Chain A
């Protein structure tokens, strides 16, 4: 555990990618095999289930530290991370020379998951009492959740590739899909043979960068294929061995969440893997042609995510389809090395032969000049799309985010000028700075809050706003400060939908601060009517 805590410390504070890679490679060449498997699991989002919840953790910490609850909360707001707060508050440990390995803690946590609370508590307290402060931090972090500590899955894959001398794309594929860190050995995980056993295993996704230059620099339009860029969840649909699996890009198995797809199990041939978008689309029976796609706002899809049991009402109001745009496996063969244009022919053949409302084909946009495409792009929003995807017709399907063959060409975001009315301290690297803001537009003489935004300012600007908040707080509600409505910001967002959960009646998609309008006063901001107009135009 000590070695892992050191690794996390280095990854968390290092500001250079190369140092992080070196630290990971060092770990992969020196740690024991079982720990390595767990590190791969953790950094690819395969954390074990919570054996204890956050409330239990902090209650036990308070018992040991003998602090009142309110004081713990104050500390939490100053630190901005529960695992770290607890590590800082626990009384000094009894120093122990022996450090148990990482896998011991993780596997014990799994084994006691269903046991009595007393047993789980005893294990947590015993562990705390023999750990150094950095070990306690990572231990708590493993229990409480998202292990975001400044390293991407990509860096982990690259470091591992370097250590075991395999190509990163091979590693990415081998560690994808369904595997149990407790039952998988390091050698098995990286061996070729495991692929045949796991029918659910997805391919690593190929991701596009946003195009920065003029599209004209891409060369001849005839070499490129254009599609609408959909705002759903990127997904992979797999039919193998008579079974159907649907993965999200976050590598969550989502098959059971979308019963609409279950019928496809009988229609799709075996040995087929499709890449596409999970979308709420208008029932295509209302449109005459099967290949037309009219997606509804992302907000509707959100009503379906995170729900285990889907009601009939939801199925009618927010029916989910899979909008396919690529074919990765056909007749059991990996198709990723063939050209896109050939994959597309096969894809169209499959989707058309099935002709089922749950499986749509992402249509191609015909165009002959870049100007023509630019005009079409400006209508993206009317198509329910957020821009255009450009893919080279002779591109192979690569691994991860790569430049060159695939580009996303998004439309400019919607923007609105708003005033900051509430501020709250941030988390992680922004703890103790006021960086989470709520914004309002005008409603007659009043202000009405309509969105929060957390990003888009530079560190320097955040520091300035933080100073403003500290000097201009009006009231205090727990961690939230109401602030004198004075600072005006341009808020950018990708979409807008009606919402009865928000006072303003609207919910925004991906809101962020576009820029600080120091040139504007609160009298010059937009109004609730402006928002409603946008909703009318783009939110239906």
Chain B
């Protein structure tokens, strides 16, 4: 009997009677991180990392949450469970499960580089590893964060010289906070969209130190944005809401920006391949370091990555999950909300 089964509700541990990141309501859910494709509403009990809890509260409201620290061992129906840093976003964790000496690890989403915010990723030795593969193609190799940050700051300064506002498109939960590690150094005021403001407040109230930002409202005088910095979530590009920033340049921060075609399709003035997922080398390095005998590959380029692992002598199989749709869902929701706001004006 495998420790984790792939059911229609999600990754299921029969021995422990719990699911990991289920996409349908269940009795017991263990959550890797607070993004909408991994943490969904309706379950009766949620176990997550302490830093993840306030974010779940923000997204899913009050529920029966249990928060744990990394490497804290707990037992669920006799199954030993512990959480380990995944480096993807604040409070993101890998889930380690052990029964009778057999160890399985579910990666959730992860990245190798320490972004200074999400906790440093640690590979966890196991027998079976369930890994994401969002960027599981060798064309995806990230530059160090320090280098990308410098490019970002240079771009903001160039925009300022040209008399333009720098508008960044970044995920409200994760990427936006990561950008705040880079931007304050320039010394310009930073304005954020309401969705990012909400995430910001939730994170600050849980005890994190984040730089000051200003919320964009209808009262904000239009001239205040000029030559300054704006952060907005995906879905706002090209919307009527953007008009207030004119003249502006749009910079999108996402791993997908590695490919020129994506930058052009999104009509971005600049694309920064700043990702919260492991790149090709990161995925390979992690799989090797877990010393897993068997690897299941989920959301992303699962067919490609599992085939490649098999060819280099690591037994792997692809698994279909409902993870990995967050970007689309999120942007659709924002765009929709935006339309409602615009129509009401």
Contact = CB atoms under 8 A, between A and B. Distances in A.
Determine if chain A interacts with chain B.
yes
Contacts of B263: 13
A88 B137 CA distance: 11
Nearest to A13: B263
A87 to B, nearest CB: 9
A78 B261 CA distance: 10
A478 interface: no
Interface in A396-435: 427-433
Contacts of B258: 88
A75 B137 CA distance: 6
B308 A432 contact: no
Among B258, B264, B328, residue most surrounded by chain A Cβ atoms (within 10 Å): B264
A280 B307 CA distance: 52
Interface residues of A, number: 30
Contact of B262 (A15, A71, A432, A459): A432
Interface string B247-267: 000000000001111111101
B139 A88 contact: yes
B312 to A, nearest CB: 10
Contacts of B270: 13
B88 to A, nearest CB: 22
A78 B267 CA distance: 18
B61 interface: no
B138 A429 contact: no
B304 A71 contact: yes
Nearest to B263: A13
Nearest to A150: B264
Contacts of B259: 78-80, 84, 88, 431-432
B265 A429 contact: yes
A89 B265 contact: no
Contact of B260 (A65, A81, A459): A81
A14 interface: yes
A13 B269 contact: yes
Contact of A428 (B138, B261, B269): B261
B226 interface: no
Given A13-B271, A79-B259, A81-B260, A430 B138 contact: no
Nearest to A67: B138
A144 interface: no
A71 B260 contact: no
A431 B268 contact: no
B219 interface: no
B311 interface: yes
A236 interface: no
B195 to A, nearest CB: 21
A444 interface: no
Interface in B227-241: none
B265 A75 contact: no
Interface string B300-331: 01001001100100000000000000001000
A13 B138 contact: no
B265 A13 contact: no
A321 interface: no
B261 A429 contact: yes
Contact of B137 (A74, A137, A430): A74
A75 B261 contact: no
A362 interface: no
A430 B271 contact: no
A68 interface: yes
Interface string B75-115: 00000000000000000000000000000000000000000
A85 B138 CA distance: 10
A149 B93 CA distance: 42
Interface string A59-70: 000000101101
A95 to B, nearest CB: 13
Contacts of B261: 79-81, 84, 427-432
Q: Chain A at the B interface: mostly helix, strand, loop or mixed? A: helix
Nearest to B143: A133
Contact of A12 (B139, B264, B307): B264
Given A13-B269, A13-B271, A432-B259, A75 B264 contact: no
A25 to B, nearest CB: 16
Given A13-B271, A71-B308, A432-B259, A85 B265 contact: no
B138 A68 contact: no
A89 B138 contact: yes
B139 A68 contact: no
B321 to A, nearest CB: 15
B316 to A, nearest CB: 14
A70 B311 CA distance: 11
B44 to A, nearest CB: 30
B137 A84 contact: no
B264 A78 contact: no
Among A137, A429, A459, residue most surrounded by chain B Cβ atoms (within 10 Å): A429
A71 B265 contact: no
A422 to B, nearest CB: 20
Contacts of A81: 260-261
Contact of A65 (B138, B308, B328): B138
Interface string A87-99: 0110000000000
Contact of A79 (B139, B264, B311): B139
A68 B137 CA distance: 12
Contacts of A75: 137-139
Nearest to A462: B265
Nearest to B308: A71
Contacts of B138: 65, 67, 71, 75, 88-89
A12 B139 CA distance: 19
Nearest to B140: A88
Contacts of B308: 68, 71
Interface in A473-502: none
Interface in A148-192: 150
Contacts of A13: 260, 263-264, 268-271
A15 B267 contact: yes
Nearest to A92: B141
Nearest to B141: A88
Interface string A122-135: 00000000000000
A431 B259 CA distance: 9
Nearest 8 interchain pairs by C-beta: A431-B261, A429-B264, A88-B139, A429-B265, A75-B139, A429-B261, A74-B304, A80-B261
Interface of A: 12-15, 65, 67-68, 70-71, 74-75, 78-81, 84-85, 88-89, 137, 150, 427-433, 459, 467
Interface of B: 137-139, 141, 258-265, 267-271, 301, 304, 307-308, 311, 328
Given A71-B304, A74-B137, A78-B137, 8 more contacts: A12-B260, A15-B269, A68-B308, A74-B304, A84-B259, A84-B261, A88-B139, A430-B261
26 contacts: A12-B260, A13-B260, A13-B264, A13-B269, A13-B271, A15-B267, A15-B269, A65-B138, A67-B138, A68-B308, A74-B304, A75-B139, A78-B259, A79-B139, A79-B259, A84-B259, A85-B139, A88-B141, A88-B258, A89-B139, A428-B264, A430-B261, A430-B265, A431-B262, A432-B262, A467-B328
